[in-house]
Amino acid sequence: MKVLKFLFILALFSIAGCTRRTSEPPMLTIYTYDSFSTEWGLEPVVIPPFEDICKCEVQVVTVGDGGAILNRLVIEGKETRADIILGLDNNLAARAFELDIFEPYKPKYFETVPEEIWFDPSNRLIPFDYGYFSVVYDSEKLRTPPKHFTDLTSAEYKRRLIVEDPRSSTPGLGFLLWSIKLLENRHEDFWQKLKANILTVTPGWDSAYAMFKKGEAPMVISYTTSPAYHIINENTDRYKAAIFPEGHYIQIEVAGIVKYTKNKNLAQSFIDYMLSPQFQKEIPTKNYMYPANKDVELPEAFKSLPKPKKMLIIKEDILSKKLAKWINGWRQAMQ
Amino acid sequence: MAPGNAITFVKRASVLGIIIVLFHPIILFVIRAGGLDLTDILISSAFWKALWFTLYQATLSLLLSLLIGLPGALWLSQYRGKLKPYIHAFLTIFLMLPVIFVILGFISLFGEESLINKFIFLISGEKLHILYSFPAILIAHIFYNVPLVIKIVSRAWEETGKTEEQAALLLGASRLKIFTSITLPKLLPPTIAVSLIVFAFCYMSFAIPLILGGSPSFSTLEVLIYEKARLELNLKFAMGLALLELLVSLLFFWTCTRFIHKYTFIPSHPSKVVARSKVSVSFKIYLFFISLFLILPFITLIAETILGLSSTGSILKTTLIHPLSVSLLVALSSGIVATSLGLLSSLLIRNLPEERMYDLIFFIPMGISSLFLGICYLISYQKFILHGWGIMVLIVLHSAINFPFAYRIIRGSIVKLSPQIWQAAEHFAPKWGIRLRYVTFPLLKTSVINAFLITMALSLGEFNATMMVAGGRLKTIPIIIYELLGSYRLESALFIGLVYTLIAFFIFYFVERRGSYVTPS
């Protein structure tokens, strides 16, 4: 029976092997997160123009979110078909570097990217956009928004904040790291006090924001740029981001060239294109983040948003060493 | 080889074929990952804590769902009114509801800003915190699973007559004695069958405990698997966790099936329930409250969706058609495949010496983390997906995920049938095909249709594993809903979800109606 089983599996694999077709125009494969290729995401506006420029075919493979992309790369290893990985961020960078699969490249438009967001000096991961985590609040329900980070523990906000789980959500992790960067050793005390103000912890940003939008709580962990969505699409400035003078933790989204790529030139030209104004100008209204290229003019809704004066970041090598410990501490503080 | 042996061999080979076709990605994944070291996990306190909580909430949710659902099942099995197909179609809806909708429905019903809470605030000056507590988790699990209990068990009970009870009554047995020694053992196999399914659902649940529990101390094993796999990229640890998760659920399964075989009473011949007991006042009150509980979250959610309609905009026209056809195609095909294979394999294994072992094997996919199921299929079929065969992979994946449910439901019916029926059938209709057409199918019709509806509904709502395979143009409605929610578009997501549920309701209703028209000769 065992022999039979293996023969069957073998047969399946050979079928899989035979169906591989040879493509005439060169093909660039991009692994990215889901929201990139939605109808209202970046893909429909940035990929077809690039295909015209490069005279190539671009295959976009969506793989859940940033964390899922990394999982996929761990599983595939050297056999990965990806030429470009798009959609990791500074918090995933350390794990990404451990995999050692990125090829350094210093792209065109390099000088247009603010120095402080170019966090990888060896140019393996190239920023394409960034945003600041923040507490977004409903100004019709919350008269006195918090003015400082530690105000969040104030008794007046009892059961009024929705947070995401740092184990499964990017903003959730961002908020935890924000507290660690600002409060260092005292962050567990902060969480213990914050607990009474947290209505609930959701696995992802989507459910947190849906609950916030339904009015279940007047505060949610999101981005300083979230209000722009409501200004542009719903014509309301009801939802606002609380800006703290101590600074805001940053998320920098990056892309990189996979070193096993057989289309190196094509991959490099895609990275160049990614930082070009044509691609970058779409970022505010598609990703609701700030474009990495500072020369791109922002839409009116973005110009009206307050931008944090100070950005906070934890270096990825420290992050990778301490993350498990921090998560454990968080879990205990939240018990 | 003796002819008997040859038949047994063919049967075994066919069952093995089914196992390999549906589940080889799981086998391959385990081989590929190599040996697993479980010691790290077994010494981790986070594991034991999560395991305990997972088991605790799943067992409690199961017991409560049975307690609340079984009387309803008894009623529905005797109900012969016009509303029956509507009720059954409505009960099927729950299997495909996205978690976030159930949560939002609960929020509009019991949340901080709900009418109930506003009213309570008016009279007492305090808000009632129903949600974000341990009971809220149980309420949500009951909401999800009571319809399933009612649906599956009532269908099975319809096929059970009262002949034995009447005979016992004539012979002078007490009512209690009749209930414990005849009725209960007769009703047990479908109850156990549904218990296994409900337990598996609650055991794998993670968003509901986390969100409605309101605290990460209500994290199930699934959350821990996500943490290890996604955050720490420790796939080995995560796989080990998934393996232990599976072993524990198998233990539960084993206990349950031992119970079945010990206490099951098989009536000598099936008959339809004719006698209809009168519905008492207290039972009417129960029916009223259970209907209210199941219907109200829909009403509040529908109301709010309609209120938010103005901002859904133009997104619907273009977005809906393609994923809707993908969803329907995949659900119909995988429903047919899963149900046929479920029927086929439960017939094939009947009377094989290792019959009960297959029960265990076919339970395995129900106990595996859906995150891993998706990954397994992704790895095995990646090339197919990249070459545009994604929809086929999705159909196979959904069939594999839902096959165990179809198998359990149909098998529950087969176990219940007396061996004499099969012997008689074999005697009078030696040809396999004729037997299938005139004996097997009519006897199992109800459970086959039930299995088809349930697998179809599960496929319509499947999300976790689908997300691994879907992408590009290959998207189902649950994926679209997730994407809309992930990009601030709550109102559109709600609207699409509502339309989708309505379409599904009419499909279920249609199948129910057709199903009850085809009367076996």
Summarised one tens digit per residue, pLDDT across range B15-33 is 898 888 888 887 776 666 5
Nearest to B229 among A61, A71, A288 (CB): A71
Cα angle, residue B166 at apex, residues B163 and B170 outer, rounded to 5°: 140
Mean pLDDT lowest among B108-117, B188-197, B212-221, B366-375: B366-375
Residue B240 lies in a domain: yes
Q: For the whole model, what pTM was predicted?
A: 0.87
A16 touches chain B (CB under 8 A): yes
pLDDT at A194: 96
Q: How confident is the model at residue B266 (pLDDT cuts 50, 70, 90)?
A: low
Which pLDDT tens digit goes with each residue over B210-222?
899 988 888 889 8
Q: How confident is the model at residue B519 (pLDDT cuts 50, 70, 90)?
A: very low
User: Which of B235, B210, B238 has the alpha carbon at shortest distance from B44?
Assistant: B238
Euclidean distance between CA atoms A46 and A287, whole angstroms = 12
pLDDT at B126: 81
* Residue B280 DSSP symbol: P
Cα angle, residue A284 at apex, residues A279 and A288 outer, rounded to 5°: 125
Length of chain A: 335
Residue B14 lies in a domain: no
Is A37 within 8 Å of B471 when comparing Cβ atoms? yes
Residue B272 lies in a domain: no
Q: How far apart are the first and last CA of chain A?
A: 50
Q: Mapping DSSP to helix (H, G, I), strand (E, B) and coil, where does residue B463 land?
A: coil
Structure tokens that stand for A84 in this block: 């470009």
| Chain A neighbors of B470, CB-CB under 8 A | 62
Euclidean distance between CA atoms B109 and B115, whole angstroms = 7
Is B210 within 8 Å of A165 when comparing Cβ atoms? yes
| Chain A neighbors of B233, CB-CB under 8 A | 70-71, 74, 95, 98
**Which amino acid is it at B162?**
K
Euclidean distance between CA atoms A199 and A17, whole angstroms = 52
pLDDT (mean) for B469-486:
85
Euclidean distance between CA atoms B447 and B427, whole angstroms = 24
Q: Mapping DSSP to helix (H, G, I), strand (E, B) and coil, where does residue B258 land?
A: helix
Residue B463 lies in a domain: yes
Cβ-Cβ contacts under 8 Å between A and B: the total is: 182
Structure tokens that stand for B63 in this block: 């017991």
| Chain B neighbors of A202, CB-CB under 8 A | 207, 210-211
pLDDT at A257: 96
The domains of chain A, with CATH numbers, are 21-130+252-301 (3.40.190.10), 132-249+307-333 (3.40.190.10)
Cα-based distances in Å from A126 to A34, A104, A271, A273: 20, 9, 8, 12
| Chain A neighbors of B216, CB-CB under 8 A | 165, 201, 330-331, 334-335
Q: How confident is the model at residue B314 (pLDDT cuts 50, 70, 90)?
A: low
Is B486 within 8 Å of A35 when comparing Cβ atoms? yes
Is B383 within 8 Å of A19 when comparing Cβ atoms? yes
Nearest to B214 among A63, A200, A213 (CB): A200
Residue B15 lies in a domain: no
Decide if A88 contacts A70 (C-beta within 8 A): yes
Is A5 within 8 Å of B16 when comparing Cβ atoms? yes
Is A5 within 8 Å of B210 when comparing Cβ atoms? no
Is B487 within 8 Å of A5 when comparing Cβ atoms? no
Q: Which residue of B has its CA nearest to A31?
A: B471
| CA–CA min distance A168, chain B (Å) | 6
Euclidean distance between CA atoms B230 and B207, whole angstroms = 16
Residue B12 lies in a domain: no
Residue B3 lies in a domain: no
> Three-state SS across A204-218?
CHHHHHHHHHCCCCC
A9 touches chain B (CB under 8 A): yes
Q: Which residue of A has its CA nearest to B31?
A: A6
- Output the domain CATH number for residue B429: 1.10.3720.10
- By CB atoms closer than 10 A (0-12, 13-18, 19+), residue A233 is middle
Nearest to B216 among A81, A165, A199 (CB): A165
A226 touches chain B (CB under 8 A): yes
pLDDT (mean) for A129-136:
97
Q: Tell me the residues of chain A between 52 and 111 that have a Cβ less than 8 Å away from chain B.
A: 59-64, 67-68, 70-72, 74-75, 81, 95, 98
Provide the domain limits for residue B56: 25-267+285-517
Euclidean distance between CA atoms B182 and B355, whole angstroms = 25
Would the pLDDT of A6 be above 60? Answer: no
Q: List, as own/partner pairs, every contact residues A92-95 make where C-beta atoms lie below 8 angstroms and the sequence separation is at least 24, other chains included.
A: A92/A66, A92/A67, A93/A119, A93/A120, A93/A125, A93/A254, A93/A316, A94/A316, A94/A317, A94/A319, A94/A320, A95/A70, A95/A320, A95/B233
Euclidean distance between CA atoms A35 and A333, whole angstroms = 33
A159 touches chain B (CB under 8 A): yes
Q: How far is CA B476 from the centre of its chain?
A: 19
Which pLDDT tens digit goes with each residue over A8-61?
444 444 444 444 444 468 899 999 988 898 888 999 999 999 999 999 999 998
Q: Which of B126, B230, B316, B383 should we substitute to test contact with A (largest number of A Cβ atoms within 10 Å)?
A: B230
* Choice between B297 and B372, residue whose per-residue pLDDT is larger: B297
Decide if B243 contacts B36 (C-beta within 8 A): yes
Cα-based distances in Å from A44 to A35, A36, A39, A50, B217: 11, 9, 7, 11, 41
Residue B302 lies in a domain: yes
Report ipTM (2 d.p.).
0.85
Q: Which residue of A has its CA nearest to B494?
A: A210
Structure tokens that stand for A320 in this block: 């990778």
pLDDT at B517: 47
Domain count, chain B: 1
Euclidean distance between CA atoms B342 and B339, whole angstroms = 5
* Choice between A103 and B172, residue whose per-residue pLDDT is larger: A103
- Specify the pairing of strand A126-138 against strand A248-258: antiparallel
Mean pLDDT lowest among A134-138, B61-65, B150-154: B150-154
- By CB atoms closer than 10 A (0-12, 13-18, 19+), residue A173 is buried
Structure tokens that stand for B53 in this block: 């909580």
* Choice between B259 and B43, residue whose per-residue pLDDT is larger: B43
Q: To the nearest 10°, the Cα dihedral for A317, A319, A322, A327? A: -160
A205 touches chain B (CB under 8 A): yes
Which pLDDT tens digit goes with each residue over B407-429?
988 887 887 777 777 778 777 77
A235 touches chain B (CB under 8 A): no
| CA–CA min distance A111, chain B (Å) | 31
Which pLDDT tens digit goes with each residue over B376-412?
887 788 778 777 788 898 999 999 989 999 998 888 7
Beta pairing partners, A136: A220, A241
Q: How far is CA A158 from the centre of its chain?
A: 29
pLDDT at B389: 82
| Chain B neighbors of A17, CB-CB under 8 A | 383
| CA–CA min distance B207, chain A (Å) | 6
pLDDT at A285: 93
Beta pairing partners, B146: none
pLDDT at B310: 64
Euclidean distance between CA atoms A218 and A155, whole angstroms = 15
Q: Which residue of A has its CA nearest to B308?
A: A214
Euclidean distance between CA atoms A8 and A13, whole angstroms = 9
**Which amino acid is it at A59?**
Q
| Chain B neighbors of A324, CB-CB under 8 A | 232
Decide if B347 contacts B10 (C-beta within 8 A): no
Q: How confident is the model at residue A165 (pLDDT cuts 50, 70, 90)?
A: very high
Is B485 within 8 Å of A21 when comparing Cβ atoms? no
pLDDT at B317: 57
Cα-based distances in Å from B398 to B17, B23, B100, B511: 18, 11, 21, 20
Is A39 within 8 Å of B46 when comparing Cβ atoms? no
Is B104 within 8 Å of A173 when comparing Cβ atoms? no
Is A68 within 8 Å of B111 when comparing Cβ atoms? no
| Chain A neighbors of B235, CB-CB under 8 A | 71, 74-75
pLDDT at B272: 52
Euclidean distance between CA atoms B268 and B422, whole angstroms = 11
Is A9 within 8 Å of B46 when comparing Cβ atoms? no
Decide if A213 contacts A234 (C-beta within 8 A): no
**Strands in A71-193 per DSSP E:** 84-89, 102-103, 126-138, 161-164
Nearest to B217 among A8, A64, A335 (CB): A335
Place of tokens 């994926």: B479
Backbone angles phi, psi at A242, to 5 degrees: -80, 125
Q: Which residue of A has its CA nearest to B232?
A: A324
Q: How far is CA B437 from the centre of its chain?
A: 28
pLDDT (mean) for B502-512:
92
pLDDT (mean) for B126-141:
89
Mean pLDDT of chain B: 83
Which pLDDT tens digit goes with each residue over A207-247?
999 999 988 999 999 999 999 999 998 889 999 999 999 99
Is B206 within 8 Å of A63 when comparing Cβ atoms? no
User: Which of A221, A142, A144 has the alpha carbon at shortest distance from A178?
Assistant: A221
User: Which of B495, B518, B514, B366 has the alpha carbon at shortest distance from B437?
Assistant: B518
Which pLDDT tens digit goes with each residue over A66-104?
888 888 888 888 888 899 999 999 999 988 898 899 999
pLDDT at B161: 65
- Specify the pairing of strand A57-62 against strand A84-89: unpaired
